[in-house]
Chains A and B, each alone.
Chain A
């Protein structure tokens, strides 16, 4: 069993604006092993991007604050390192790909220069020729002819731009790649291409990856394990088999799967999950999903559930934590 590359413990992050305090992450616990691909799944606003930005410590200046928790990377809590060391980690040990390729590249630098920049930053010992060679190598690897490195971002299509972004992210062979919905902004046909390429490169460099997505199909294809996020918490986590094939699930997960339209059957209506995510400006006691949960119990609104652990599969729900199960069973026996 390979050691944990990244371990996030009880992470709390918030955004402090003029109007409100937004509690984006409320105790996130995740770990990623070497070479593993973890899918981070959830609705918009669940806190997936905030988690990634927190790892990179790139939350918006002054507005975004990490209030609690630890992020252990290669055995060290990177929340405590100084900015200089963090900069040597960014782009080098941990890289991030963002969602919108159209705006992620600097419009007035050539793409070659932009790829070269990250190599230069972390490899001061290389001279210009070596850097150029490496740039060429990365471009070919993502399927773009090296001659095009003198061109500017606006001369490329969306799919190609995203490939350049990937080239930049992988140029220094990072141990961990954070990919925030890398294919959402692309055409469906290009999506598959890009995902496949990411998967191949990942194998080649033995990079671990956290893939943020709301597309369960993608998760099934390339992830090793999956974490399901809701309102700033991880409510279920497990291997891809656990999530797709096990019998027990968090009610939210059931809702998620149930809301995917089945292309083989004819239905009159879709099955969305009723209601909306709770207001992130409010502090909630009890389970954050209780409001919308079809299996809600009295205790759910008062007490925050603990993690039910079944080997690799964890579910944060009162339905499964032993004590409640037994109590409920006793009630039935006693009450009747």
Chain B
């Protein structure tokens, strides 16, 4: 005769065993695994890390004063050689050293800018999203005023008034990026706040702090991180543009934009002076952009397929 299966309910152990099969890895790990699959994203990350290492360890294999700053008129315009990997410029300075130290400045300004714009922007954006209503309105209106001024012009204004030191430049870039950051944070927080799982968490009595740290922040981090990479990338270009027109970092500090400004007059006979710093900028910005794109794809794989 046919068997009859025992129709008892699963025991507690059985249920737990089944549940563990589906245990989720932490979100960060899942995102990282997805990110790793993206070849371009990994490429960007590797390039950026290599640049970071080269730049941060600069003092280990280069001498700032001697190679990047000191003028050596007997060695002007030398072509690339073993001693001077990228040759020398019109003042006899080693181009390679200037590129590396220039990279340090670009990265530094980029990171410092993010620090300012993200912290201020996050504060403003999160407050606007959290409190909503009138406060949201007022804050966003104020941000609109700042957004009406194109980025570059905002930086020029601040530099015009306060002068073009490194500090002022960082301040200018930081402030000009606050409105955009605050918008991103605000929309990320609003988006997450409105999700059902947040409501569910609150409904089961989860304390507010836990809701914020375990539910809202981790899910809002994604778009914010993507925006961070894009902002750093944009800042590198803006800073170099400002230096190029003479309103940014000034001589003799090696900055890629400033180097290009000088190279302009030598374009006819010594074009390499104009090519190398540009390539450096492209490399840094491209790697950052690839990282940002990779992050975005890794965070929301639905967008890919």
- Chain A interfacial positions (CB closer than 8 Å to B): 17-18, 63, 274, 293-297, 319, 328, 332
Is the pair B2, A297 in contact by a Cβ cutoff of 8 Å?
yes
Kindly provide the distance from the CB of A54 to the nearest chain B CB, expressed in whole angstroms: 20
Is the pair B4, A295 in contact by a Cβ cutoff of 8 Å?
yes
Is the pair B2, A319 in contact by a Cβ cutoff of 8 Å?
yes
Q: Which of B1-47 contact A (CB under 8 A)?
A: 1-5, 7
A29 and B1 alpha carbons, distance in the complex (Å): 31
A147 and B305 alpha carbons, distance in the complex (Å): 40
A63 and B1 alpha carbons, distance in the complex (Å): 45
A154 and B7 alpha carbons, distance in the complex (Å): 50
Is the pair B1, A296 in contact by a Cβ cutoff of 8 Å?
no
A237 and B305 alpha carbons, distance in the complex (Å): 36
* B3 in complex: contacting residue of A18, A63, A274, A297, CB < 8 Å: A297
Kindly provide the distance from the CB of B213 to the nearest chain A CB, expressed in whole angstroms: 31
Which of chain A's residues have a CB closer than 8 A to the CB of B2? Answer: 295-297, 319, 328
Is the pair B4, A17 in contact by a Cβ cutoff of 8 Å?
no
**A-B contact count, CB below 8 Å?**
20
9 tightest CB-CB pairs across the interface, nearest first? Answer: A294-B5, A295-B2, A297-B2, A296-B5, A294-B4, A296-B3, A297-B3, A294-B7, A332-B1
Known: A328-B1, A328-B2. A274 touches B305 (CB 8 A): no
- Chain B interfacial positions (CB closer than 8 Å to A): 1-5, 7, 305
Is the pair A274, B7 in contact by a Cβ cutoff of 8 Å?
yes
Which of chain A's residues have a CB closer than 8 A to the CB of B305? Answer: 17-18, 63
A134 and B3 alpha carbons, distance in the complex (Å): 61
Which of chain B's residues have a CB closer than 8 A to the CB of A18? Answer: 305
CB closest residue in chain B, given A18: B305
A17 and B2 alpha carbons, distance in the complex (Å): 40
Which of chain A's residues have a CB closer than 8 A to the CB of B5? Answer: 293-294, 296
Apart from A296-B3, A297-B2, list 14 A-B contacts with CB within 8 A: A17-B305, A18-B305, A63-B305, A274-B7, A293-B5, A294-B5, A294-B7, A295-B2, A295-B4, A296-B2, A319-B2, A328-B1, A328-B2, A332-B1
A335 and B201 alpha carbons, distance in the complex (Å): 61
A335 and B129 alpha carbons, distance in the complex (Å): 77
